[in-house]
C-alpha cells in the first residue's frame, strides 16, 4: 500500500471524491514553490501533482509551458525538485506526491539512481507522459518494483483495443484526460466525461481521476460527481504566472477542493 492507495481508501470510507492539485516545481522560485506545496494539504488537496520542469513539454499548454520555463530559468533541476520534496516531507509524511513530467530528465539521471532518489525523497507515484506502455520495461516496471505507483493517462481516443494495454501495468489511479489536445485548452463537460469514466471503470478496479479543462469549483464538482476525483492544474499555475501571493493561490485552491469534495 502506497500513500496514494491509503488516500483513496480513506476518501472512500469518508464518502468523498479526491481533489488533485497540480503545481510546477520551482515556479515562480524555489522558496515560493515550497511554501505553496506545503500549503496545499491544508487547502484541501488530497494528492499533490508536482510538475518536473522540462524544455520540451509537448503535452502541456502555454500556461504550464511558461511555468516550466520560469522554473528552469530560475535554476530548477530534477535534483532541486527532489530537494523540494524532501523539504516538504519534513513537515508532511502523509500527503501523496505524484511527479509528472517527461522521460528525458529521468533518463539523463539514470533510471536506477532516479528511482532510489525519488523514493528516498518521498515521491509516491510517477506520470511520464511520453513513455507508452510498449516501453514499460524502461521505467514503469522498475518504478513499481521500487514501490512507486506508475500512473497512466487514458484519453477520449483510447479505444477498446488500446485500453487494456494502457491499464496493464498502471497502479495508484488512472488519469483520464477529459479533452483531446494540450492542458488548459477546452473545457471539461461532465456529460461527455461520465460515459468515458464508466467505460474505464468497467475495465479496472483503480480509481479514475479526471483532469484537463477544469477551472472552477463548479466544474470540479460536476466532474468529480461522475469520477473518483478531479485534477486542476492550469488554473492554479496561471495565478503563479500572475505573481499572486501564495495565500491568494491557496485560497483559490481551497474553493476548488471544496467543489470536488461536495460532489
130 class by beta-carbon count within 10 Å (0-12 exposed, 13-18 middle, 19+ buried): middle
Q: Is the dihedral of CA 71, 76, 81, 83 positive or negative?
A: negative
Residues marked active site are found at 49, 60
Fill in the DSSP letter of residue 197.
H
Query: Which of 131, 128, 139, 133 has its CA nearest to residue 51?
Result: 128
Residue 55 CA from chain centroid, whole number: 19
Phi, psi of 48, deg, nearest 5: -95, 125
Q: Are 167 and 133 in contact (CB under 8 A)?
A: no
Cα(156)–Cα(150) distance, integer angstroms: 20
Cα(105)–Cα(158) distance, integer angstroms: 27
How many beta carbons lie within 10 A of that of residue 204, not counting itself? Answer: 17
Secondary structure (3-state) at 176: strand
Burial 86-104 (b: 16+ CB within 10 A, else e): ebbbeeeeebbbbbbbbbe
Amino acid at each position: 500500500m502506497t500513500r496514494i492507495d491509503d488516500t483513496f481508501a480513506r476518501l472512500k470510507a469518508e464518502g468523498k471524491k479526491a481533489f488533485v492539485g497540480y503545481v510546477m516545481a520551482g515556479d515562480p522560485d524555489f522558496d515560493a514553490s515550497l511554501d505553496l506545496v506545503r500549503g496545499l494539504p491544508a487547502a484541501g488537496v488530497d494528492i499533490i501533482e508536482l510538475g518536473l520542469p522540462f524544455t520540451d513539454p509537448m503535452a502541456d499548454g502555454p500556461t504550464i509551458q511558461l511555468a516550466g520555463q520560469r522554473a528552469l530559468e530560475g535554476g530548477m533541476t530534477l535534483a532541486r525538485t527532489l530537494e523540494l520534496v524532501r523539504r516538504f516531507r519534513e513537515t508532511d509524511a502523509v500527503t501523496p506526491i505524484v511527479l509528472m513530467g517527461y522521460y528525458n530528465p529521468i533518463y539523463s539521471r539514470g533510471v536506477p539512481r532516479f528511482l532510489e532518489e525519488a523514493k528516498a525523497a518521498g515521491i509516491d507515484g510517477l506520470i511520464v507522459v511520453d513513455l507508452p506502455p510498449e516501453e514499460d520495461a524502461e521505467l514503469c516496471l522498475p518504478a513499481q518494483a521500487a514501490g512507486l505507483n506508475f500512473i497512466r493517462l487514458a484519453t477520449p481516443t483510447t479505444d477498446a483495443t488500446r485500453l487494456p494495454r494502457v491499464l496493464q501495468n498502471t497502479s495508484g489511479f488512472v488519469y483520464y484526460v477529459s479533452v483531446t489536445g494540450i492542458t488548459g485548452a477546452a473545457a471539461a463537460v461532465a456529460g461527455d466525461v461520465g460515459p468515458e469514466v464508466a467505460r474505464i471503470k468497467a475495465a479496472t478496479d483503480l480509481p479514475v481521476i479526471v483532469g484537463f479543462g477544469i477551472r472552477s469549483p463548479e466544474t470540479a464538482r460536476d466532474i468529480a460527481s461522475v469520477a473518483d476525483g478531479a485534477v486542476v492544474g492550469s488554473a492554479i499555475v496561471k495565478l503563479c504566472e500572475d505573481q499572486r501571493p501564495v495565500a491568494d493561490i491557496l485560497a483559490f485552491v481551497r474553493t476548488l477542493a471544496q467543489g470536488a469534495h461536495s460532489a
